[in-house]
Structure 1
């Protein structure tokens, strides 16, 4: 499994709206593609302007097979919903390795 981690800085008064629109637009769209396993959104109790979506993919190949041409179309639905009240501050990739219980 591969984890796609994104970190957004969101206007303080739009955090909950960002999370709801993200679920409606940026979660439903990738769910249509093979390899999408799910998504979590992490909120820091200490940094109220940070929103961290964690996207789970079966394989890196399936994640990277997401058609790049589709991304601007998805984003074009998201921007009108929130305006320019957010910015991406980090993007990272992690592999999950499971170990047997000791």
Structure 2
């Protein structure tokens, strides 16, 4: 009926879509177990570690033996993912926390003995005596805005 206005209407609708603020819907982007509320996005601690191929298995064992049980005792802990880059010989650890405030409330005094047990576990597995066999090379944090899982997961 108004063919002259169709392009104008399409441009206006496209402009509204582009200019309107986008928001991630918690129900569609992450399971409710991983995302407590839309107002409090999950904080992700992102760590990069120097993990040479010769220490990869010892690193994974020490992570499972030392860090995993300790993390699971922390009330704000929601889970973690471990990756290994074979070309760079780096480990990447992404730890999900319910909130930045709860994560930051964990003191260095609580973390230090866990790190010492981690180092001891690696040295025991490798027969080494290094002060820091798997050094931290980068640490950052971010907010989890969306998490896509395969349909069959």
TM-score by length of structure 1 reads 0.85
**What's 2:122 paired with?**
82
Structure (1 or 2) with the greater strand fraction: 1
Where does structure 1 lack aligned partners over 5 or more consecutive residues? none
**How many residues align structurally?**
98
**What's 1:21 paired with?**
62
SS of match in other structure, 2:101: helix
Q: Distance in 2 between matches of 1:79 and 1:17?
A: 10
Q: Distance in 2 between matches of 1:34 and 1:66?
A: 10
Q: 1:12: how far off?
A: 2.2
CA separation of 1:45 and 1:61: change in aligned 2, threshold 3 A: same
For each residue in 1:27-81, what CA deviation from the matched residue of structure 2 results, as whole angstroms up to 9, or x when unmatched? Answer: 211211111000110112432x211111000100111111321111111211111
Q: Distance in 1 between matches of 2:105 and 2:144?
A: 19
**What's 1:33 paired with?**
74
Q: Distance in 1 between matches of 2:135 and 2:59?
A: 11
Q: Distance in 2 between matches of 1:25 and 1:89?
A: 20
TM-score by length of structure 2 reads 0.59
CA separation of 1:61 and 1:4: change in aligned 2, threshold 3 A: same
Structure number with greater Rg is 2
- For residue 103 of structure 2, the aligned residue among 52, 56, 63 is 63
Q: Distance in 2 between matches of 1:98 and 1:52?
A: 19
Structure (1 or 2) with the greater helix fraction: 2
- Tell me: higher relative CO, structure 1 or 2? Use CA pairs within 8 A at least 6 residues apart: 1
SS of match in other structure, 1:69: helix
